[in-house]
């Protein structure tokens, strides 16, 4: 079991730039969720995608967007980066889209905005 894989592991960007983070779910998992974890806080929900459709969105500005591809991998895009976007971005996959589907997390992408 390769687990959920995320790339890159670390990233440094400048304010105003945009960034794309990538996630490959566990084989057979059709749902991908994105979370932001700021230092000292628990993960905060950003998006859920299931079968390539957005199924949920957290309280994040429109600068954040995501998509899911036919192979169920996913990208998270953040435009016009702010210093406050510096965080660990976690991707999680699950077999189905909702109830009784435990989340399997990746190791995350550490984004630093300077």
Partner 1 sequence: AQRVTQPEKLLSVFKGAPVELKCNYSYSGSPELFWYVQYSRQRLQLLLRHISRESIKGFTADLNKGETSFHLKKPFAQEEDSAMYYCALRLGQAGTALIFGKGTTLSVSS
Binding residues (CB under 8 A) for partner 1: these are 3-4, 31, 33, 40-45, 48, 50, 55-56, 58, 90, 92, 94, 97-108
Q: How far is the CB of 103 from partner 1 (least distance, A)?
A: 6
- The SS3 of residue 6 is strand
Nearer to partner 1, 56 or 61 (CB): 56
- Contact assessment for residue 87 and residue 37, using Cβ atoms and an 8 Å cutoff: yes
Cβ proximity of 17 and 78 under 8 Å? no
**CA 65, 34, 39, 81: dihedral to nearest 10 degrees?**
-10
| Least distance between partner 1 and beta carbon 16 (Å) | 29
Q: Shortest distance, CB of residue 14 to partner 1, whole angstroms?
A: 29
């Amino acid at each position: 079991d390769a687990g959920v894989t995320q790339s890159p592991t670390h990233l440094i960007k400048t304010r105003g730039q945009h960034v794309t983070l990538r996630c490959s779910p566990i084989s057979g998992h059709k749902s991908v969720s994105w979370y932001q974890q700021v230092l000292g806080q628990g993960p905060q929900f950003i998006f859920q995608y299931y079968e390539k459709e957005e199924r949920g969105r957290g309280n994040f500005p429109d600068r954040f967007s995501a998509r899911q591809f036919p192979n169920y991998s996913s990208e998270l895009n953040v435009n016009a980066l702010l210093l406050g976007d510096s965080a660990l971005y976690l991707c999680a996959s699950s077999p189905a889209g909702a109830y009784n589907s435990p989340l399997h997390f990746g190791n995350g992408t550490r984004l630093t905005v300077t």
